[in-house]
């Protein structure tokens, strides 16, 4: 029995959810998202979305909670949006953006220039005495996570001094280093 899959997803004001032949479409103030689905039945009733499975087979059980979570993330994304913040920890690490081009200096011989998808809004915050922060905002949770993971992969935090690109609030596992 899927505890997550059985919970209905409430539809807030200003959000419309439509289901047409195995495609779910969610429209809201921040944008529109579509998702193809299989192995489950999705119905929109009385201001909420219900995800049910047709049988007790292993595939249907596995996808029941998955599709319910995807629907919940879509509804929340088009109504409130998703945000990820990355912090650049290290001497000389800088970030700036011009439109959808992100320019990052991470201690390599050249700056890294990344073209970000137009659905993701980029904001770079550079205050004196603090680490630079890259703020990513979008209605698509998967896309925000993918862009954030790509930026983090340029220079992952190392375990000795903690230098690199990390998520704001992320707890790093530190090592002691050499004992002389």
Is 0.75 surpassed by the pTM of this model? yes
In the chain the domains, ranked by start, together with CATH numbers, are 3-79 (3.90.930.12), 82-167 (3.90.930.12)
**pLDDT tens sequence across 68-105:** 999 999 999 999 999 999 999 999 999 999 999 999 99
What's the mean per-residue pLDDT of the chain? 94
H helix runs in 21-115, sequence order: 58-79
**pLDDT tens sequence across 123-168:** 999 999 999 999 999 999 999 999 999 999 999 999 999 999 999 9
Residue 83, pLDDT score: 97
Q: Which residues contact 104 (CB under 8 A, 6 or more apart)?
A: 88, 93, 94, 95, 111, 112, 113, 114, 134, 151, 154
The answer to whether 64 and 2 are in contact (CB under 8 A) is yes
């Amino acid at each position: 029995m899927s505890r997550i899959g059985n919970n209905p997803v409430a539809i807030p004001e200003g959000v419309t959810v439509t289901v047409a032949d195995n495609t779910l479409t969610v429209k809201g103030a921040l944008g529109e998202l579509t998702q193809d689905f299989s192995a489950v039945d999705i119905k929109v009733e009385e201001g909420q979305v219900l995800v049910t499975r047709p049988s007790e087979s292993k595939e249907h059980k596995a996808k029941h909670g998955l599709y319910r979570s995807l629907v919940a993330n879509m509804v929340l994304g088009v109504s409130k949006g998703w945000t990820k913040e990355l912090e650049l920890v290290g001497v000389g690490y800088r970030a700036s953006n011009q439109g959808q081009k992100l320019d990052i200096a991470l201690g390599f011989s050249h700056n890294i220039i990344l073209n970000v998808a137009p659905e993701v809004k980029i904001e770079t915050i550079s205050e004196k005495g603090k680490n630079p922060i890259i703020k990513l905002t979008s209605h698509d949770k998967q896309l925000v996570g993918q862009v954030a993971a790509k930026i983090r992969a340029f220079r992952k935090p190392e375990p000795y001094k903690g230098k690199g690109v990390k998520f704001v609030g992320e707890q790093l596992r530190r090592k002691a280093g050499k004992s002389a």
